């Protein structure tokens, strides 16, 4: 039996097949053609979906999965408690499923207090205490989104993600440097201060980074951290094994 795990993000879909650790990014405009090709090449027996999309768009994509694969499709949802983790939100439906899956996976892996920083288009930080209680989190713009928001009304600097490759935490000596370094510094400072605050009450706490910008941001951190790519998919598999999924 092979499960196809699908993570529907705001701009692209990520997927993992079975127990493989590779996470592959797929563009939405190519999604149906890609899925049809995959259906003819792999022995997929089920699909699990996690989605941050609106209900209408999510329903369309789920229908495509069912039509192309002709297999049962299950969906991940946030619950008040799962695998030893208790959700901080009074209305659990308001917590993004990607954040919940990452927190559940991190807790299942570490069994200790932790900060889970998922650094993609948006940067999310979530906190779990030593008892497995989710203590809420922060959501800020990721590096590229922060850059585009700042420069959307300017003509002299054109935003480019490649500019972060040379960014540092030093003050910039030209405007472009100041912009790139400032965005990086702001995200690094938030992570560092959040983690240090948690260490005051939980000295054993771990800092876990995931997401596309994790290696870049991590290289500028002074705190010790663990890189754990694919946390969302790990969480999907854990909920599947615990039979905590719902029909799509």
Residues 127 and 215 in one domain: yes
The helix or strand, by DSSP H or E, that contains position 149, with its residue range, turns out to be helix 143-151
Residue 126: domain span: 81-236
The answer to whether residue 137 sits within a structural domain is yes
Q: Are strands 73-75 and 44-51 parallel, antiparallel or unpaired?
A: parallel
The token pair that represents 109 in the structure block:
């892996």
137 and 52 part of one domain: no
The pLDDT, as a whole number, for residue 150 is: 82
Domain end among 41, 75, 109: 75
Residue 224, marked binder: no
Identify whether residues 60 and 89 lie together within a single domain: no
Indicate if 22 and 105 belong to the same structural domain: no
Domain tally, the chain: 2
The tokens for 35 are: 């899925």
Q: Is 118 annotated as a binding residue?
A: yes
129-165: b (≥16 Cβ within 10 Å) or e: beebbbeebeeebbbbbbbeeebeeeeebebeeebbe
- Give pLDDT, residue 155: 66
Tell whether residue 12 is among the known ligand binding residues.
yes
Binned average pLDDT, 10 residues per bin, the chain of 248 residues: 92 89 88 89 90 94 94 96 97 96 96 96 95 97 89 68 87 90 97 97 97 96 96 96 95
Is 62 annotated as contributing to ligand binding?
no
Q: What is the pLDDT of residue 152?
A: 74
- Is 187 domain-assigned? yes
98 is annotated as an active-site residue: yes
Which of 75, 95, 120 lies at the terminal end of a domain, its last residue?
75
Q: Is residue 242 part of a domain?
A: no
Which residue out of 22, 91, 98, 126 is catalytically annotated?
A: 98
Q: Do 13 and 120 reside in the same domain of the chain?
A: no
- 92 and 189 together in one domain: yes
Q: Was 44 annotated as part of a binding site?
A: no
pLDDT score of 10: 85
115 shares its domain with 43: no
| CATH code of the domain covering residue 35 | 3.30.420.40
Judge whether 11 is annotated as a binding position. Answer: yes
What is residue 49's predicted lDDT score, i.e. its pLDDT? 98
8 labelled ligand-binding: yes
């Amino acid at each position: 039996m092979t499960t196809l795990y699908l993570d529907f993000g705001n701009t692209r879909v990520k997927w993992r097949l079975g127990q493989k650790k590779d996470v592959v990014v797929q563009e939405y405009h190519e999604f149906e053609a890609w899925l049809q090709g995959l259906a003819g090449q792999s022995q997929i027996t089920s699909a699990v979906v996690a989605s941050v999309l609106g209900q209408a768009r999510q329903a369309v994509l789920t229908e495509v999965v069912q039509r192309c694969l002709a297999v049962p499709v299950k969906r991940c949802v946030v619950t008040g408690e799962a695998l030893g983790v208790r959700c901080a939100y009074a209305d659990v439906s308001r917590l993004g499923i990607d954040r919940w899956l990452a927190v559940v996976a991190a807790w299942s892996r570490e069994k200790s207090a932790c900060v889970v920083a998922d650094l993609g288009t948006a940067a999310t930080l979530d906190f779990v205490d030593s008892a497995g209680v989710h203590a809420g989190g922060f959501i800020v713009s990721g590096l590229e989104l922060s850059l585009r928001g700042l420069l959307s009304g300017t003509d002299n600097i054109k935003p480019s993600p490649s500019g972060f490759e040379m960014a540092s935490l030093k003050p910039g000596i030209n405007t472009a440097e100041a912009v790139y370094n400032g965005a990086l510094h702001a995200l690094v400072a938030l992570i560092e201060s959040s983690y240090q605050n948690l260490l005051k009450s939980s000295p054993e706490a771990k800092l876990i980074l995931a997401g596309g910008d994790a290696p870049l941001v991590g290289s500028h951190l002074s705190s010790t951290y663990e890189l754990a790519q694919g946390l969302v998919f790990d969480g999907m598999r854990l909920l599947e094994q615990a039979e905590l999924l719902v029909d799509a």
